[in-house]
Structure 1
Amino acid sequence: MEEKRLDLKTIVGFGLIAALMLWMIYNNTAEKEKEFQEKAKKEQVQKAQAKKAAEEAKTASIINDSTATDSVKIAKLNGSLGAFAYSASLPSAKNTVTELKSKLLTLKIANKGGYIQEAIVNDFTRLTKSSGQQVELIKNNNANLNLQFKTQDNRILNTKDMYFEPSLSKEGDADVLTMRLKAGANQFLEYRYVLKPNDYMMDFSIRSQGLAQIVDTSKPMDLEWMMKTYRNEKSVSYENRYTKVVYEYEGGKDNSLSEGSKLDDATAEDVSYIAFKQHFFTSILLTDTPFKKAQMTSENLVKDEKVDTLFTKKLTAKMPLEFKGGELSYNMNMYYGPADYKTLDDYNKNLDEIIPLGWGIFGWINRYIFIPVFTLLSGFLPYGMAIIIFTILVRIAMSPVTYKSYLSQAKMKVLRPEIAELNEKYKKDPMKKQQETMKLYNSAGVNPMAGCLPALMQIPVFYALFQFFPSFFDLRQQSFLWATDLSSYDSVYHLPFYVPFYGDHVSLFPILASVAIFFYMKMTTGDQSMAAPPQEGMPDMSKLMKVMIYISPVMMLIFFNNYASGLSLYYFISNLITIGIMLVIKNYIVKDDKIHAQIQENKTKPKKQGRFQKKMQEMMEQAQEQQKLQQRNKK
């Protein structure tokens, strides 16, 4: 009997081991199968890429074969290009470019692909280490424009791989370049560029003729636009912060991809323009016939600011072009030039939305107040002096708000002893304490929220200015004192090492602004902490404010070290002026004895409660009654 039990246990044990081994074998086989499938898929992709490269190389070798006759070339190219082999056999099938030049722009359009291979903004220079070079938006194949389409014989072709035939002419003062990708003498796909003498915007059109029997018109052609944006400013991180895709869609709405994400994408319908905006320059594609759909991506190319200093982002857009009557016909525009508010706004195409002036009230303040005022001042003053006068005007305009804020603090400071007495008297009854405190405020004619409202009113101005200075193109390359460029940081000393979050240089204007804000906070924090006594169960704000006296200047110093020196100059002057205004208010306008006398006089006068105060008191009384009822029920 014991042997039978042992045999049974042995059999069960062997069964479990066998099951475990089978599971391991199955699991291992599944993993190997998965690895095999992934490897096969990878090899398939590599083979497809190799095949495509071989076909392109074969096509190029056929085109460049000087020993072959035209008929032989066409016969060979028919295998890879079909009807468009005609274009590859023409004398224009060479890696050459046609130059269009005006006072503002220099463009070079390649025969291969028919797109702009080089775009230089003539009047501006780069501010990088290679300073002195003209601003190059496109060069060395950092951008391309491609049409991908399907032919009737099921070929997928890309215009960037095929040769166009150029034809240069004049229309008045404008240079006209027609690039044709030919499938026959009168069958072609055409790009047409019209460059005007004094304009960053040029006419651009895409049309086809006689291709209905060659191209599959049941599906749209895909227009693909790509650009790796060159760094043109002093700070790669600062420029990258303002580099993004901006687009207009659905008849006037505008949006953009995130400039801070490593990778971002979006899809929109009825798109009327797409802008590849850099910090102070932009490339824009506009269309009279909105793209039914556009897919856009933004990829951050700056992984390490010390190494990745040539490009900032890779921006792409893909739009389907619809056929009408078997042919393409799109009238568009291209813009290569400064991201300047006035220049873009003058086109009346809603392009001013490309400039990040802020949304809502912030953008309104910039558009209708700050830009006109500063443009007026900089029209007859050096830009540094214009910033100082502009700052004075802003602080004068905000001085009534500063006065009301300080007056409220002074009143609360006078009432502090009485509030402290109420806190002590009703420390066991928080609801009663709150009621009596509100009665004191009402009888004294003091609004405890009056000090907060002026501060809130200054937030739109603060944020608008924060958007204004980094976006105002006119500050670029303008110097003041030791700052060589008010649109970038003012380096007075280059560090031999890199400090995280701070950088590898020392900027002086942020230091001055930080010192000024330290003295301003030192001067006002004492009054603010004395204005309202600490409430039971709440943190002591006076201690927090004392800590902030030292933290705020340090944060400003670190944050603004890589920001526009014009913005740091503004805050330095603004804090100095605010200190002066506060000293005048404190010593000559608002005095404690006068405020105390006024409060005592207010107490003798009958006060009519406002609707808000009355409602608050009713709510407190109801809460107090409910509290008493709960206490009775407990007893």
Structure 2
Amino acid sequence: MDRNTFTGLFLILIILIGFTYFSRPSEEQLKKEQLLQDSLANVKSGKQPSVKMPLASKPAAPVVDSAALRGPFGPANQGVNSSVVLQNEHVKVNLSTKGGRISSVELKEFKTYDQKPVILFDENESSFGLVFHAGNSIINTKNLYFTPSSQSLTVANTDSGSVTMRLKYSDSQYIDYIYSLKGNSYKVDLNIVATGLQSVISPNQPLVLNWDAVLKQKEKDINSEHRYSGGYFNHGDNEVDHIGTTKDEKKELGEDGKVRWISFKQHFFSNVLIARNGFDKGTLAVNTSAAPGIVKTFSASMQLPALKTAQAVYPLQFYFGPNRFHTLKAQGYDLERQIDLGWGPLKYINRVAVIPIFNFLEGLGWNYGLIILVLTILLKLVLSPLTYKSYLSMAKMRVLKPEMDEIKAKVGEDNPTLLQQEYLKLYKKAGVNPLGGCIPMVLQLPIVMAFFFFFPNLFELRQESFLWMKDLSTYDSVINFSRIPVLNVDHISLMCLLMTVSTLVITYFNNQTSGVTGQMKYVGYITPIIFLGVLNSYPSGLNYYYFLANLLTFLQQFVIRQWVNDEKIHARIQENKNKPETEKKKSKFQQRMDEYMRQQQAKAKDQSRKK
């Protein structure tokens, strides 16, 4: 039994050590973290921070020379920057006449962790524009002034409305940015229409669409936002990949097919640009900022087909909204695949089973703490056959332990091969699989790991309270202290602490039940300590689930103990040992064990012949 316990715990320990190793902060991240702490210290002391925020200051108005005014789109180099508001019940979009772009976006239904409006990005920390060749000049529309068709527009219910931003070359030659918004949508349509410019814009050069944004902190834990923020893109054969979640990255896109969309994704909100006809190719870059309150900076440069007709239309769409699975899925284009639900089979467990059950429970209108409780109970009921089989196998090994100790005393530890053979003979006679307790634990592991990805990415838990936990989507700190740079810790989570204590208690009772002795009984205490360090900054909703799982596991084991009788198990084992070999139905494990024993005996004979 103790060998099975060790095997299972060792596998879990390897996974946790691997996760801790690969998710540890790099030297660059540690330097940025130190810069952040220095900046915060300067702010508290009244000094100006030494770190300059990218795109934070509004650039001075350019001085326009006469040559620019005489060049292509010359008159558009001068103008007054004003704002046009396009809004519905979900979003408020500010359009700037300079560049004709979306200068800022506010999500009306949500607040930041400190109850301020959720501004996805603002005018001074974003840019958007077309770059193309016109004669011998390179034109960048972000520096030119557009003429709006409306001063403001509010769209209600299911109605739709549009605002046109026009960049004039002449009365019959112009570029229109046509923005459309429906009353119940998070999407903003953008149709770029170039009219009569085929002789002005070079037909041999593609149009380049540049988009940059600086995304600010919106959640309590900026480190968590760093972890779950990155640049996502759909490309090739409908593959969704990402960059920049763990380090600064830049990637060339379109090498394996057209790019359907790119996304500047934060933890719980996304800014997505969709090309209905696809982008030919482009680049996407993500950088983590050390400036206080800045999560990451994003930059994209995407290519559109060259202008070759009298009127060319480039249909685009923006999605500005929450990273809520069913909301993203309703937008189409597989936007929901931005949400990290795990790798391999873990994401399918979450998508096929966990999310539908969660959505059903959410539809009942319960508190999310109660929903997590019911979800955990359902999970434990599904896994109860494996739990029972694991406990029964451990009980069999516990009953066999006295006989195994006798064999060990008789054979000695100097000949491990012979000792293993004698153990295998005992297992064969008793009809016991020594891995019977480990295999169910391993089979349960993917489901347990699936929840590890599910809860941290669950938008529905954002700013939802339960008991003392004010926000189930982030940690609940009971003790706060100065940040420890190496460990990157500045608090102790109460729910994580309760989870750890409950795991230690269960480990203690399991050791008492199994009768494990020596150093082996201390192995089970290592994993909870590792969990305390890893999960301390993870959402309290996740730690609450693990805490409930521990309590239900303890309850399950208590009930199973009432059913499992060691004397009856011992009697069955002795009865099985006395059966003739012909009456015993061999399992696959026993067949492999017989083959192993034959191989060992053959090796022993060969060695004796050589001697």
> Same fold by TM-score, threshold 0.5 exceeded?
yes
- Find the partner of 2:374 among 389, 402, 408: 389
Match of 1:141, SS? helix
Partner of 1:61: 63
Contact persistence 1:443–1:607 (CA under 8 A): no
Structure 1 window deviating more from structure 2 (394-403 vs 114-123): it is: 394-403
Amino acid at match of 1:270: K
- The answer to whether the Cα contact below 8 Å between 1:87 and 1:184 also exists between their aligned partners in 2 is no
Q: 1:277 matched to which residue of 2? A: 265
Among residues 103, 113, 138, which one is paired with 1:156 in the alignment? 138
Partner of residue 462, structure 2: 476
| Distance of 2:492 and 2:485 partners within structure 1 | 10
Note if 1:443 corresponds to 2:417: no
**Which one of 302, 312, 316 corresponds to residue 299 of structure 2?**
316
Identity %: 35
| Aligned counterpart in structure 2 of residue 596 of structure 1, from 570, 576, 583 | 570
| 3-state secondary structure, aligned to 1:387 | helix
Q: Does the aligned pair in 1 maintain the 2:130–2:207 contact within 8 Å? A: yes
Give 1:240-389 correspondences, 5 Å limit.
Answer: 240-268=226-254, 269-302=257-290, 308-323=291-306, 325-326=308-309, 328-378=312-362, 379-389=364-374
- Aligned mates of 1:445, 1:630 — CA distance in 2: 30
Q: Quick check: 1:624 aligned with 2:601?
A: yes
TM-score by length of 1: 0.80
- Contact map agreement 1:442 1:607 (CA 8 A) in 2: no
**Alpha-carbon distance change, 291 to 499 in structure 1, aligned in 2, over 3 angstroms:** closer
The alpha-carbon distance between structure 1 residues 544 and 165, as it changes in their structure 2 partners (threshold 3 A), is farther
> CA contact under 8 A between 1:176 and 1:193: conserved in structure 2?
yes
Secondary structure at 1:233 match in 2:
coil
Structure 1 residues 505 and 622: alpha-carbon distance in aligned structure 2, compared to 1, 3 A threshold: closer
Please report how far the alpha carbon of residue 425 of structure 1 lies from its aligned counterpart in structure 2 after TM superposition.
3.8
Where does residue 585 of structure 1 map in the other structure? Answer: 560
Q: CA deviation at 1:512?
A: 0.9
1:46-85, Cα deviation, whole Å (9 max, x unpaired) = xxxxxxxxxx98x9334xxxxxxxxxx8x54346xx2110
Cα displacement string for residues 63-113 of structure 1 (whole angstroms, at most 9, x for unaligned residues): xxxxxxxxxx8x54346xx21103235xxx212111112111111111111
Describe the shift of the 1:185–1:125 C-alpha distance in structure 2 as closer, same or farther (beyond 3 A).
same
Paired with 1:624 and 1:264, the residues of 2 have a C-alpha distance of 59
In structure 2, the CA distance between the partners of 1:488 and 1:601, relative to structure 1 (3 Å rule), is same
CA distance in 2, matches of 1:571, 1:401: 18
- 2:198, 2:307 within 8 Å by CA — same for their partners in 1? no
| Number of equivalences | 541
What per-residue deviation string (whole Å, max 9, x for no partner) do you get for residues 410-441 of structure 1? 11111122223333444465444433322321
**Shift of residue 176 of structure 1?**
0.8
Aligned AA (2:559): V
The one-letter amino acid paired with 1:598 is R
Inter-partner Cα distance in structure 2 for 1:544 and 1:163: 74
1:510 aligns with 2:496: yes
What corresponds to 1:543 in structure 2? 519
**Greater Cα shift, 477-486 or 325-334:** 325-334
- The aligned counterpart of 2:393 is 408
C-alpha distance in structure 2 between counterparts of 1:145 and 1:436, whole Å: 75
| TM-fit CA distance, 1:454 | 0.8
Cα pair 2:495 2:543 within 8 Å, conserved: yes
Provide the C-alpha distance between the structure 2 equivalents of 1:411 and 1:396, rounded to a whole number of angstroms. Answer: 23
Asked if 2 retains the 8 angstrom alpha-carbon contact of 1:502 and 1:558, the reply is no
CA distance in structure 1 between the aligned counterparts of 2:442 and 2:511, rounded to whole angstroms: 18
Report if the CA contact (8 A) 2:94-2:104 is conserved. yes
The answer to whether the 8 Å contact 1:322/1:328 transfers is no
- CA separation of 1:260 and 1:593: change in aligned 2, threshold 3 A: same
* CA–CA separation in structure 1 for the residues paired with 2:365 and 2:586: 53
In structure 2, the partner of 1:16 is none
Shift in CA distance, 95/574, structure 1 to aligned 2, threshold 3 Å: same
CA contact (8 A) 1:87 1:165 kept: no
Structure 2 SS opposite 1:391: helix
User: Partner residue of 1:27?
Assistant: none
- 1:86 aligned onto 2:62: no
Q: Is the 8 A contact 1:145 1:226 kept in 2?
A: yes
Task: Give the CA deviation at 1:324.
Answer: 5.2
1:70 maps to none
Distance (Å, rounded) in 2 between the aligned partners of 1:627 and 1:454: 34
Offset at residue 611 of structure 1 (A)? 4.7
Q: Alignment partner of 1:562: what SS?
A: coil
Q: Which runs of 5+ in 1 are unaligned?
A: 1-55, 63-72, 303-307, 534-541
Corresponding residue for residue 456 of structure 1: 442
Q: Between 227-236 and 410-419, report the one with greater CA deviation.
A: 410-419
Report the Cα offset of residue 620 of structure 1.
Answer: 3.6
SS of corresponding position for 2:357: helix
- CA drift of 1:499 comes to 7.1
The answer (yes or no) to whether the contact 2:201–2:307 under 8 Å persists in 1 is no
| 8 Å contact kept, 1:431–1:620 | no
- Decide whether aligned partners of structure 1 residues 528 and 202 sit closer, same or farther in structure 2, where only a CA change above 3 A counts: farther
* Aligned counterpart, 1:208: 194
> What is aligned with 1:13?
none
3-state SS, counterpart of residue 481 of structure 1? coil
CA–CA distance in 2 between the matches of 1:506 and 1:432? Answer: 50
Do 1:362 and 1:461's aligned partners in 2 also have CA atoms closer than 8 Å?
yes
The yes-or-no answer on 1:607 pairing with 2:593 is no
CA contact (8 A) 2:463 2:471 kept: yes
CA separation of 1:545/1:354 partners in 2, compared to 1, >3 Å: closer, same or farther? farther
- Cα distance in 1 for partners of 2:484, 2:421 equals 57
Question: Do the aligned partners of residues 613 and 497 (structure 1) sit closer, same or farther apart at CA in structure 2, a change above 3 Å counting?
Answer: closer
What aligned pairs does 1:556-567 form with structure 2 within 5 A after superposition?
Answer: 556-567=531-542
Contact 1:251 1:272 (8 Å CA) reproduced: no
User: 1:236 maps to what in 2?
Assistant: 222
Measure the CA separation in 1 of the matches of 2:250 and 2:205: 27
Asked whether 1:175 is paired with 2:175, we answer no
The structure-2 alpha-carbon separation of the partners of 1:348 and 1:60, relative to structure 1 and needing over 3 Å to count, comes to closer
Change (3 A) 1:364 1:463: same
